[in-house]
Amino acid sequence: MNVLGYLLVALTISAGRAYESADSDDSDESLWDDCPLEQQLCSLESRNNTPVRCVEKIYRADIAGLVYCNAQHCEPETFKHDYIVRNHDQSPHVNSWKRTRAGEAGTLHDVCLLRNGLPVTRKCEVWAMRARWESLEQRPYVVCMRRFRERSISVELNSLHDDMLEGRRRANSSQERRRTTAMMRDMFRQHDKALLPADVHVVGQVFGELLEHEKDVALSADLISICREIMSSDAQVLQLSAQLNATNSLLNNFEDYMDALPQQLVPRERCGKVVAHAAGEAGEAAASGMEILNNANLGVHAMLSSNLSVFYVNPECESITGIAIYSAAAPDRRQAVSQFWFRFLYANENMEKLRREQDLETATYVPEQLWRQLKQRGATYLIVKVYGHDGLFVETAPQRSRIPRSKVLSISIPGCEGTQLPQPLPFLLRNENHRQPDTRAVNAGCGCGYWNYQTWVSDGITTSSGTDLLRDPIVVCHTRHLTQFSYLVGGSYRSNELGDEVLVTPINERVLDIISIVGCCLSLFGVLGIFLTALLFKSWRSQASTKVLLHLCLAMMLQMVLFVFINTDDLSEQLVVHGDKVRCVLLGAAMQYTILVLFCWMLIIAFLQFQRYVTVIGVERPRHYILKAALVAWLLPLLPTLLVACIDPESYVPTAEQLATDTGICYPSGYGLTFGIVLPVTLITVANLVIFVYVFYSISHSLSQSIQRAERKLVHKQIRLSVLLFFLLGLSWIFGIFAYMQAGVAFSYLFCLTATLQGFVLFVYFVLLDEVNRRAWIGLLCPTKMKMDVQKRTTELQSMTTSSTNYSRAVQ
């Protein structure tokens, strides 16, 4: 719910709430009975069913369900929430709501984003003539994200907004405001950074803060540049930001700021006086990617860019009362750097001649008689803004019957806001449907319309054109009020439903997820290769070491199948939503059990390797030691699993916040995670690390002796064995422990890159690099080649034997 901020009277109305006054029983019409027509906001009742009394001066609407009477604010307030640190971990955080104007949605001091890129907000309501924060009693506990600094500009923008709020208390200077807008301009020109819906909301708030200070011409180029970049951003982002009325707020604040500048840019005192361009003005324009046209002597000052241009006109200088924009050159047209052409229009312009001009895109002017009448009402200046497309004019309705198919033309005359013009004002728009036909478009509903900060409507607008509005290249329209206009085509158009889209994830999470899934799939492939090798070659599977390896691979396969294919966040959400928590507990317990079984086998393998490489002399394997090891490895993990399942079964069930942010699966959390998984995994990993160090020392000692004996062929084997032991003993989980302790994202990457590839590495070492298994596979797949290799080796052996015999005879 957003602000309808037009009324400068002591009047407050809550959306959806009955009008609380002595006249609450009056009809909507009775509230308007005493209001002159020019003091009524066009189509106010059609946009907002809340009855509103007439007032002396009505400003441009920001359409919301709330009307506030002055610039009250909600003051900062402490707020507690959780930050998502990893997929299954949350960190409590104490934040605070920023100072917010009445009727607006406040944001938090420290950035707090939802998965769709929208900020966590809180409404600053008006109640009993005072501003107050909306109640949070019915609101669920907030879980949001902040670790995305490398992907967006949200943190920097938020800091600038904070600085402006702090600067208000320190009476922040024009230089600070100029520095702020310049920094924002540079941020939005970094196209390698993602723009989020929260950023659009913050920009609107910053523009609102600028409005409360003295208006500065030096900021105008930066403001146009920022709006131009936002207009060109992803439509999905803009549509999501519109849920907070962010695009309307930004548009309204931009229009108000630009409309306050004509007296500085085209004052009457400059008429007929040619003034040289200021060096600072040219530099600011170049930095903003703008072109400045300073013809104040003619009564015109323009800021030109590709998607957004602003023209300031003072008709008192040369009777210029309008602008025409073209797409091609002609002798009487001026060229803009942004590759469009324009010319000034005069009060005595011929409408029909103008309509027939080649390559016309849009035009408007104030006829001579109308301007005389407006001058009598105090009008002095005319501001025309040309938007290249409707990027900032975002409708939230899922179904639309009309859409804009032309440039958007905004016409402002300071002093005439919210009033009816005494005569129609003409404007012309090029019909883009003529140039690029839309098969969905229909004649019904075609014509000019205006933006009411909720949708496009056409009441009060007359369209005069040929017989076919769909195919006429130029459409001529007239209006009696001033706002933003566009040519609309009828049809049935459905907006994208984007409310649940995930635009933001914790830092690098998406990349880590991809690495994990790819690594697990490779490991599953490797494990299946090991099982297939054992199935086909009896001589290899009958070895004691192979039996231990097969147990390890079985535990690994169960864990990865559960992780990748079964225990997913979608399935977990279905179980929780349908109240099937028992299945969720069983699924989480199975996941915990397979992890612990895997580590038990890695500990057993570490012990066997220690016996092999360190205590070499006097080692005797006990009878049935593989069976005994299997009983320990498969039964011992049942103890911590059953303890967690019996003592704290709820720890397996993901919270509502985790499900809402797609980070919840059936898996232990809290103390169940700490004592049921992290503690035993850490102990086993430390034990394996100690054994690895002993084994590596033994290998190094043997290596030094081998080098002394010139047996350098062993060097490669010993190094290869060390790498194998690193994966075989699960030492890559050390990175996971450090990542769990939040030691840095580098450990998360190292963990995902190494731990998930364990099965594939074992396949490479035990199948592809093992000479016996490799020859066995070659013999199975290419028996002819294997026979040739055997015959070749037999021939070489016979040759060596013959040479040795001949040598012996020669010696004799």
Ramachandran sector of residue 359 (left: φ over 0; alpha: ψ -120 to 50; beta: rest) = left
Separation CA 608–CA 265 (nearest Å): 85
Are 367 and 493 members of one domain? Answer: yes
Are 122 and 98 members of one domain? Answer: yes
Answer whether residue 469 shows pLDDT above 80. no
Are 227 and 326 members of one domain? Answer: no
Answer whether residue 143 shows pLDDT above 80. no
Are 536 and 684 members of one domain? Answer: yes
For residues 773-796, average pLDDT:
68
Q: What are phi and psi of 83, to 5 degrees?
A: -100, 140
Please name the helix (run of DSSP H) or strand (run of DSSP E) that holds residue 448, with its range, or none: strand 442-451
User: 622: exposed, middle or buried (C-beta count within 10 Å: 0-12, 13-18, 19+)?
Assistant: exposed
What is the per-residue pLDDT for 541?
A: 84
What is the per-residue pLDDT for 264?
A: 92
Please name the helix (run of DSSP H) or strand (run of DSSP E) that holds residue 86, with its range, or none: strand 77-86
Q: Which amino acid is at 669?
A: S
Question: Which CATH number does the domain housing residue 560 bear?
Answer: 1.20.1070.10
For residues 288-302, average pLDDT:
88
344-to-236, 293, 311, 318 alpha-carbon distances in Å:
37, 12, 10, 10
Are 639 and 770 members of one domain? Answer: yes
| Ranges assigned E (strand) in 314-424 | 320-326, 334-335, 341-346, 360-365, 382-387, 399-404, 408-412
Answer whether residue 47 shows pLDDT above 60. no
User: 433: exposed, middle or buried (C-beta count within 10 Å: 0-12, 13-18, 19+)?
Assistant: buried
Are 424 and 289 members of one domain? Answer: no
Q: Determine the Cα angle at 429 with ends 426 and 430, to 5°.
A: 155
In this structure, is residue 796 part of a structural domain?
no
Residues 6+ apart with CB under 8 A from 349: 322, 365, 367
478-to-697, 715, 762 alpha-carbon distances in Å:
90, 89, 77
Are 357 and 372 members of one domain? Answer: yes
Q: Which amino acid is at 96?
A: S
In this structure, is residue 691 part of a structural domain?
yes
Are 734 and 705 members of one domain? Answer: yes
Are 109 and 189 members of one domain? Answer: no
Task: Name the token pair of 228.
Answer: 């131009």
Domain-terminating residue out of 504, 539, 569: 504
In this structure, is residue 428 part of a structural domain?
yes
Separation CA 703–CA 681 (nearest Å): 32
Answer whether residue 756 shows pLDDT above 90. no
CB-CB contact of 365 with 346 (8 Å): yes
Task: Name the token pair of 287.
Answer: 């930095």
Give how far the C-alpha of residue 723 lies from the chain's centroid of Cα atoms, to the nearest Å: 40
pTM of the model: 0.63
What is the per-residue pLDDT for 50?
A: 31
Are 408 and 478 members of one domain? Answer: yes
- pLDDT tens profile 671-718: 888 889 889 998 998 998 888 888 777 766 665 555 555 455 566 666
Nearest to 672 by CA among 702, 649, 656, 690: 649
Q: Which amino acid is at 337?
A: V
Separation CA 43–CA 416 (nearest Å): 17
In this structure, is residue 358 part of a structural domain?
yes
In this structure, is residue 57 part of a structural domain?
no
Task: End-to-end CA distance of the chain: give it in Å, rounded.
Answer: 110
Answer whether residue 477 shows pLDDT above 60. yes
Q: Among 9-13, 287-291, 523-527, 740-744, name the most confident range.
A: 523-527
Are 579 and 457 members of one domain? Answer: no
What is the per-residue pLDDT for 798?
A: 54
CB-CB contact of 552 with 601 (8 Å): yes
What is the per-residue pLDDT for 726?
A: 81
Are 516 and 495 members of one domain? Answer: no
Domain-terminating residue out of 90, 108, 133: 133
Q: Give the alpha-carbon dihedral of 98, 100, 104, 110, to 10 degrees.
A: -10
Q: Are strands 341-346 and 334-335 parallel, antiparallel or unpaired?
A: antiparallel
User: Would you place residue 30 in the very low, low, confident or very high pLDDT band (cuts 50, 70, 90)?
Assistant: very low
Separation CA 461–CA 446 (nearest Å): 12
In this structure, is residue 56 part of a structural domain?
no
Higher pLDDT, 149 or 3: 149
Task: Name the token pair of 44.
Answer: 């106010």
Answer whether residue 800 shows pLDDT above 60. no
CB-CB contact of 144 with 188 (8 Å): no
In this structure, is residue 604 part of a structural domain?
yes
- pLDDT tens profile 317-374: 999 999 999 999 999 999 998 889 999 999 999 998 999 999 999 999 999 999 999 9
In this structure, is residue 785 part of a structural domain?
no
Higher pLDDT, 782 or 428: 428
Separation CA 153–CA 188 (nearest Å): 8
- pLDDT tens profile 363-402: 999 999 999 999 998 899 999 999 999 999 998 887 777 8
Task: Name the token pair of 365.
Answer: 């002017």
Dihedral sign for Cα 347, 348, 350, 354, please. negative
- Percent of the chain that is helix, strand, coil (3-state, to 5): 50, 15, 35
Question: Which CATH number does the domain housing residue 456 bear?
Answer: 2.60.220
Q: Determine the Cα angle at 309 with ends 305 and 315, to 5°.
A: 140
Domain-terminating residue out of 458, 475, 504: 504
What is the per-residue pLDDT for 92?
A: 81
User: Would you place residue 172 in the very low, low, confident or very high pLDDT band (cuts 50, 70, 90)?
Assistant: low
CB-CB contact of 529 with 767 (8 Å): yes
Instruction: Tally the domains of the chain.
Output: 4
DSSP letters of 645-712? HHH-GGGGSPPHHHHHTT---S---THHHIIIIIHHHHHHHHHHHHHHHHHHHHHHHHHHHHHHTT-T
Q: Determine the Cα angle at 119 with ends 72 and 181, to 5°.
A: 70
Lowest-pLDDT range of 8-12, 218-222, 259-263, 694-698: 8-12
DSSP letters of 575-638? HHHTT-HHHHHHHHHHHHHHHHHHHHHHHHHHHHHHHHHTS-TT--PPTTHHHHHHHHHHHTTH
Q: Which domain holds residue 168?
A: 148-303
